Structure 1
Amino acid sequence: MITNNKRNFFKVVTLSTIFAFTACTTNDFFNEYKSLSDGWKKSEPAIFSFESLDTISKHNAYINVRTKNNYPYSNLFLIVKMHPPEGSATVDTLQYQMANADGSMLGTGFTDVKEHKLFWRKNIRFIKQGVYKIEVEHAIRKVNEVKGDAVLEGITEIGLQVQ
């Protein structure tokens, strides 16, 4: 025989479970990652493509980066090019802090892999219907060097998230 206390307990557990699963959903319009098995080569930008049919809604866009503890810098410089279906590309040069002053990596995660959700654009509208192509490349270089690092170590994945 089930008592009222047990019924209430089961109701709370059931509602909590439903809430937990619905609270974890996001309103991602696009979310994709590119794996980098041998570091991030400067000559190979991460390229993402998606189709937008909605020219009215505003979105927030993020560059997601997964790093290991062997990432050698405290910051990350990125060049992000957005190619619309027609017209000229827009180019953003971005800088993000990746580590604390003591060298410990920022980001979320309990292992040696950290997730960094880096804000790219707020309230972006895709004003033309069609396929958009986003290119993300790193622009890291050592002090007094012009060319930059040919391969950026410590980055395992690059992602693009549009919500």
Structure 2
Amino acid sequence: MLNAQSLIYLSLCYLLLLASCDPHIAYEKNTRIDDYSWNRDSVALFTTRITDTAQAYEIAVNVRHSNFYPYTNLVFTVQQQLASHTDTTYSVELSLAKEDGRWIGKSAGNLYHIKHSVLKMHHFSDTGVYHFSVQHHMQDHHLKGITDVGLVIAKQP
């Protein structure tokens, strides 16, 4: 059973969690990469329902990597699919480091996070359930140092 002090603490944590939510985020999910080794055949999958085609959205990819990542860039594709339509694929080359080798992005210890916009002011063609996939296209079949890959869909003002 919770005592009064524990209940107050949990209530404050809940309020902080609610306050930290971005009202423009329509969808966000990150997928953990096992053993920090992203297999080229292992596709990160995301599913969301779109209900408003008049709304403009930004579609972005979250990438989190360690400082042991062996390259300064990441090449990947984002595939968008609606059950009743053909697929649309976007190819992306993302710089992860500056020319002098310093990592770009927000850091926490030896981890770095970059949110990269794939599409800005995107209007979905129809309502319904959309499936997205993210797959790397680097030379290494097992790409070391990538810890998480995610998808963010945000409403544009």
Distance 2:63 2:108 in 1: 15
Distance 1:56 1:85 in 2: 20
The residue number in structure 1 matching 2:11 is none
Distance 1:105 1:112 in 2: 10
The residue number in structure 2 matching 1:82 is 80
Secondary structure of 1:77 counterpart: strand
The residue number in structure 2 matching 1:161 is 152
Higher strand share: 2
Q: Structure 1: which 4+ aligned runs deviate by more than 4 Å?
A: none
Distance 2:29 2:108 in 1: 22
Which is greater in Rg?
Answer: 1
Distance 1:124 1:85 in 2: 18
Q: TM-score, normalised by structure 2?
A: 0.81
Aligned residue pairs, count: 136
Secondary structure of 2:107 counterpart: coil
> Percent of aligned pairs with the same residue?
27
Q: Which residue, 27, 30, 34 being the options, matches 2:31? A: 34
Q: Which residue, 63, 66, 90 being the options, matches 2:64? A: 66
Structure 2: tracts of 5 or more residues without a match = 1-17
User: CA 1:46 to 1:40, structure 2 compared with 1: closer, same or farther past 3 Å?
Assistant: same
What is the CA distance between 1:109 and its match in structure 2?
Answer: 1.8
Structure 1: tracts of 5 or more residues without a match = 1-20, 142-148
Maintained 8 Å contact 1:85/1:129: no
